Structure 1
Amino acid sequence: MKEKLLLDVEIYVAELLNKQLASTNYYHNAIHTRNVVTSITELTNREQCTEQETLALLLAGWFHDTGYIYTDIGHEEESVKIARSYLKEQDVPEELLDQVEQLILATKTDLNPNNKLESIIKDADCGHIASDDYLDISENLLKEINAKNDHTLSDIEWMEQNIAFLKNHSFYSDSAKQIWQPKKELNVLEIQKKLHKLTAKENKKDKNTRFGRGVETMYRVQLKNHIELSAIADTKANILLSVNAIIISVALSNLIPKLDNPSNLFLVYPTLILMLFSVASVVLSVLSTRPKISNVAITKAMIKEKKTNILFFGNFHKMNLQDFEWGIDYLMDNEETLYNSLTKDLYYLGLVLNRKYKLLRITYTVFMFGIIISAAAFIYSYYINMPV
C-alpha cells in the first residue's frame, strides 16, 4: 500500500510540475523535488525513522514545492492544498494528512524546526548545498531569481549572497551535520575562490587594455585570411579533380577500347601509367579536402579549463543544446576564455591549412610528373613501334 501510494504520488507530482510549472523555474522544479526526496530517504535511514514517519516525510517531500505552479510567495500553503486534495482521494488518514501539512509548512525559510521530522525535511530541502554540483545548481537558482525579478543580480552579488547564506546556515539533524557539513564547508571554499576570481577580474577589467578593438580586428582579419586560404586550397583540389576525371574518362572511352587490337598493344603501358597517376592525383585531391571532425565529448569542465574550443562545429556537435548555450554564455561572460577559444580556432585552422597545402603540393607534383612520364611513355612507345 505504501509503495503504491508513493509511486502514484511520484507520477502525479512529476506530471503536475512538468506540465504546469512556469518555464522560469530553473531551480524549483521536478529535478529539485526528486533530489529532496532522495535526501529524505538517506536521512530517514540514518535517523532510524519509523515506517509511518518515513511515509509522511516522503509525501511532504514530493508535494512541498507543488504550490509554485500558482505562486512563489506563500507557495507552501498552496502546496498543502494540492497535497490534501490529492491524498484525500487516495483515502489517506486525516492524521497522516495533518502530519504532511505540518512538514510542508516547516520548509518555510524563516521557521526553525520543532521536532526531528521537521529537521529532516528542512535539511533535505537544503541538501543541495552539500552537493558536488552545488555551483551548477546555484547557477540555476540565480537564473530563476533573475528571470522573476526586475533587478538582475550580478555573479559577484550572487556569490556574496551565497557565502552569507552558507555561513549563517546550519543543519538540524545529527545525520546531516555528520555527513553533509564537511562537504558544505568545501563548497564555501569553492565559492570564495570563485568570488575572488570574479572580483579580481572585475577590478582588472577597467585597467586591462589587452583586449580591445585592435585585438578584435586582428582576430577578424586573420580568421578571414585563413578561411580564404582554405577556400583557395579547395578550389585548387577541385581543379585537379576535374582535370583528372576528364583524363580518366577520355582514357576509358577512347584508349582502353582500342587496346584489345594486337596492333595497339604498345599503348598498354603508357595508358596504365597515365591512369595510375591520374587516379593517384584524384585520391590525393580528395584527401586534401576530406573533412575531419573530433569525436571527443566536450564537458563544462573542459570549457572552464580552456581545454577546448566550442566555436568550431567539429567540437560542439556532440553537445546537447542546453550545454552548448551554457558554453556560449560562459564565453561571453569570460573575455579571456573567449579570446583563448578564438586563438585555438586560429591555430587549428592553420594546422588544417598546413595539411591541405602539403597534400596539394604532393598532388600537383604527382600530376606534373604523371603527365610528363605518360607523355614520354607514349612518345617512346610510338617511336619503338614505328614501321621501318
Structure 2
Amino acid sequence: MNVELAEEYILHELRAHLPAILYYHGVHHTLDVTQAAMQLATAEGITAETDRQLLRTAALYHDTGFLRTFTGHEVEGCTLVREMLPRFEYTATQIDTICEMIMATRLPQDPHSHLAEILCDADLDYLGRPDFEPIAHTLFLEFQARQLITADENAWNRSQEQFLAQHHYWTATAVAWREAAKQERLREVREKLLA
C-alpha cells in the first residue's frame, strides 16, 4: 500500500477538479478531516501502522465522490476508490475496509468499526470547535449555491439546531474534546432563533 502516492494523487485530483461551489467540501475540508482523524486515532490508541494508513486513506478519499456527483457522493466515492487504489498497491480487503469507513460517514452516520467511528468523528469535528461559525457559514454558502436551501438564515439556523441536537460523537476522545463545546454551539443557535 503506497499511501504517499495515493495521497499525492487524490489531493491533485481534488484541487484540479472539485466544483468551485464546494465552499465547505473543498480540499481544505479533506485535509482538516485527515488531520482530525489522525489526532483522534492517536488519542484512541490506534498504533498499528496498517490501521493508521487505512484510516488516513479513508479520510483523504471520503469525499472524492464530489468529483462526479453531489447526491450520493459516498457511494460514488467508493466506486472511485475501487478504481483508483489498486494502482497504489491496495488489496481488495484494504479497499473494502476503506469503503466501509467512507460509507459510515453518510448521514445519518452509521459506523461499524472503531476506525469508522474515528472517521465519522473527524468528519464532524468542527461541530465542537471554536471555528464552528466560519465553517458552518461555508456549508450555508455551499447549500445556497447548490440550491439546497433558500437564502433564509432563520431556516438555516433551524436546520443547524436540528442537526446539532441529533448529532453525537462516537469515540470517547471526541466526546471529551468536543461535546461540551458542541452543546455551547447548540445553545448559541437556539439563542439566534429566539432573537
* TM-score, normalisation: structure 1: 0.48
Q: Answer yes or no: is 1:145 the counterpart of 2:136.
A: no
Q: Give, as a single letter, the amino acid of the residue that structure 1 aligns with 2:112.
A: N
Corresponding residue to 1:54 among 42, 52, 55: 52
Matching of residues 173-252 of structure 1 within 5 Å: 173-196=171-194, 200=195
| 1:164/1:144 CA distance change after superposition, 3 Å | same
Structure 2 counterpart of 1:69: 67
Q: Distance in 2 between matches of 1:33 and 1:69?
A: 13
3-state SS, counterpart of residue 180 of structure 1: helix
4+ aligned runs moved over 6 Å, structure 1: none
Structure 1 counterpart of 2:76: 78
Higher normalized contact order (CA 8 Å, seq sep 6+, divided by chain length):
2
Matching of residues 1-388 of structure 1 within 5 Å: 5-49=2-46, 50-149=48-147, 151-196=149-194, 200=195
Q: Give structure 1 stretches of 5+ with no counterpart.
A: 201-388
1:125-175 deviation digits (Å, cap 9, x = unpaired):
111111211111111101111111165141111111111111111111111
Q: Kindly report the root-mean-square deviation, in angstroms, between the aligned alpha carbons of the 2 structures.
A: 1.6
Structure 2 counterpart of 1:293: none
Q: Distance in 2 between matches of 1:172 and 1:151?
A: 28
Q: Give, as a single letter, the amino acid of the residue that structure 2 aligns with 1:139.
A: H
1:55-85 deviation digits (Å, cap 9, x = unpaired):
1111011001011011111111211122222
Q: Distance in 2 between matches of 1:17 and 1:90?
A: 17
1:23 shift after superposition: 1.0
1:8 shift after superposition: 2.2
Q: Give, as a single letter, the amino acid of the residue that structure 2 aligns with 1:59.
A: T
3-state SS, counterpart of residue 145 of structure 2: helix
Q: Distance in 1 between matches of 2:148 and 2:86?
A: 39
Identity of aligned residues (%): 27
* TM-score, normalisation: structure 2: 0.92
1:210-264 deviation digits (Å, cap 9, x = unpaired):
xxxxxxxxxxxxxxxxxxxxxxxxxxxxxxxxxxxxxxxxxxxxxxxxxxxxxxx
3-state SS, counterpart of residue 45 of structure 2: coil
Q: Distance in 1 between matches of 2:50 and 2:5?
A: 17
1:110 shift after superposition: 2.6
Contact 2:104 2:120 in 1 (8 A): yes
- Of structures 1 and 2, the larger Rg is shown by 1
Contact 2:109 2:120 in 1 (8 A): no
Contact 2:6 2:88 in 1 (8 A): no
1:183-207 deviation digits (Å, cap 9, x = unpaired):
21222233233444xxx4xxxxxxx
Q: Give structure 2 stretches of 5+ with no counterpart.
A: none
3-state SS, counterpart of residue 113 of structure 1: coil
